[in-house]
């Protein structure tokens, strides 16, 4: 079944947990989702100042929650990104005082003045699949290829918690990983009945690390296919595409996020191949890629990527072939959509 989720402004959520579902689906269903940008669509001119326009507790709104029938704590939710497309002609990026990998923050306190708050508007050309960067203080301009994805996607945490969407952790959240593009399946551990899936914070593109604190923030039209793997919850979010298996760790400091992601990957490869941990550790050490997804959020996110081709076929049917199954459904959906 195909559902549509197009929330009004008063239906937007700002936390994972703490909201009642606004849509209920079954495993195997598709959802066509509209999501606002991280500023809630309130920045309409490069002359606006986000800190004076957007409330601090209304950053990174999400569309949802979506209740998935039959999802129970201990299960694993599989979310396949069928299509992710910018919904408007512009994207917004910005620098913020006290935010960003190269700025002083409350945690890295400095005596120097904060960086200037500045907004950049990017023209989005979906037909040519490009975004145009224009410098604010010179005439430099360049076209960049679109690479749209969702910075925020997750489920409700356990323990009756409600956590701000801007924070990433074991439930997913604001991981800001460009890997969450069309063609990727995201696996999230279920902590509450129904899972309560939500997503937002669309980025038309973003460099690894999101070092200024913003991607090319834009509203997004997205299609997801959702399935359920019973009783197979992982400790941390995992991703899969046709080439890679990936583990995401989101904590501070950055070296602990690295350890979380790599430990989960070593354990995952050991489970898939039947090797012991030390043999898996050795193999992963020689083949893993380690992109920094974000180094700006309340928790930093590291992704460990292992090419499936080096696992001798052991990575081709992860979670009973959930990715392959959802990819096939996605191809059928796109063929019918034209």
Give the mean pLDDT per block of 10 residues along the chain (338 residues): 95 96 97 96 88 86 97 98 97 90 84 90 96 96 98 97 96 98 98 98 97 96 98 97 98 97 98 98 98 95 98 94 96 89
What is the edge-to-edge ordering of all strands in the sheet holding 238-240?
2-5, 30-35, 220-229, 76-86, 185-189, 238-240, 244-251, 300-307, 292-294
With beta carbons less than 8 A apart as the criterion, state whether 303 and 176 touch. no
Q: Give CA separation, 124 vs 36, 127, 160, in Å.
A: 16, 9, 40
pLDDT of residue 51: 86
Q: Extract the tokens encoding 1.
A: 């079944």
pLDDT of residue 49: 85
Intra-chain end-to-end CA distance of the chain, in Å: 18
Q: Helices (DSSP H) in the chain: which residue ranges?
A: 50-53, 254-273, 277-287, 322-337
pLDDT of residue 224: 98
The DSSP secondary-structure symbol of 13 reads: B
Domains and CATH numbers, the chain: 2-333 (2.60.120.580)
What is the residue-wise DSSP string for 118-150? EEEEEEEETTTTEEEEE-SSSS-EEEEE---EE
pTM: 0.95
The DSSP secondary-structure symbol of 270 reads: H
What is the residue-wise DSSP string for 285-311? HHH-B--EEESSSSSEEEEEEEEGGGG
Burial class (CB in 10 A: 0-12, 13-18, 19+), 311: middle
């Amino acid at each position: 079944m195909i559902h549509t989720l197009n929330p009004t402004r008063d239906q937007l959520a700002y936390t994972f947990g703490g909201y009642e579902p606004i849509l209920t689906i079954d495993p195997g269903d598709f959802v066509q989702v509209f999501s606002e940008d991280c500023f809630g669509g309130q920045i309409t001119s490069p002359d606006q100042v986000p800190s004076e326009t957007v409330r601090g507790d209304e950053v990174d709104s999400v569309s949802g929650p979506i209740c998935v029938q039959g999802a129970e704590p201990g299960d694993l939710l599989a979310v396949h990104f069928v299509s992710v497309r910018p919904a408007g002609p512009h994207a917004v990026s910005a620098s913020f005082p006290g935010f960003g990998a190269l700025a002083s923050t409350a945690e890295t306190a400095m005596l120097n003045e904060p960086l200037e708050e500045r907004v950049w508007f990017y023209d989005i050309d979906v037909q040519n699949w490009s975004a145009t960067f224009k410098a604010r203080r010179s005439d430099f301009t360049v076209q960049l290829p679109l690479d749209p994805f969702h910075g925020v996607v997750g489920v409700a945490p356990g323990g009756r918690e409600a956590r701000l969407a801007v924070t990433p952790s074991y439930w997913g959240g604001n991981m800001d990983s460009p890997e969450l593009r069309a063609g990727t399946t995201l696996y999230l551990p279920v902590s509450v009945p129904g899972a309560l899936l939500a997503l937002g914070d669309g980025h038309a593109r973003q460099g690894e690390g999101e070092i200024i604190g913003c991607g090319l923030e834009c509203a997004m039209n997205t299609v997801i296919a959702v399935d359920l793997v019973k009783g197979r919850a992982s400790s941390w979010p995992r991703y899969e595409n046709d080439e890679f298996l990936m583990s995401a760790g989101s904590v501070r400091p950055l070296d602990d996020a690295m350890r979380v992601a790599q430990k989960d990957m070593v354990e995952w490869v050991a489970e898939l191949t039947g090797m012991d941990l030390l043999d898996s550790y050795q193999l992963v050490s020689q083949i893993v890629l380690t992109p920094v997804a974000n180094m700006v959020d309340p928790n930093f996110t590291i992704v460990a990527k292992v090419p499936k081709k080096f696992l001798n076929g052991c990575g081709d049917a992860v979670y009973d072939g959930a990715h392959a199954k959802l990819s096939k459904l996605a191809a059928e959906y796109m063929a019918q959509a034209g």
